[in-house]
Structure 1
């Protein structure tokens, strides 16, 4: 079960730099997580100031 980023995302980029497998990239409206690359470590959720990433 990969993580997803909700519409609460403020595009700060904290999650992208924290991801150990580079599964996060900047999208048009928010950052997005590649579900196939996500290892479900939760690092993104731990650094997000608005709690946008969550387990799908």
Structure 2
């Protein structure tokens, strides 16, 4: 499911709010499953897209 949110975020390039929503969801899922590589991948994509995620508590 987290991977799906990453793909949806990539498809939402240019629609920052939609991309942010999917990236935050992916980061939260990877974090809750304790998959640090997934969290890192999500945050890297956010940086590449210029999307600010804030802290996990902001979501």
Normalising by structure 2, report the TM-score.
0.31
Normalising by structure 1, report the TM-score.
0.32
Structure ranking higher in strand proportion: 1
Structure ranking higher in helix proportion: 2
**Which one has a bigger Cα radius of gyration?**
2
Structure with greater contact order relative to length (CA < 8 Å, sep ≥ 6): 1
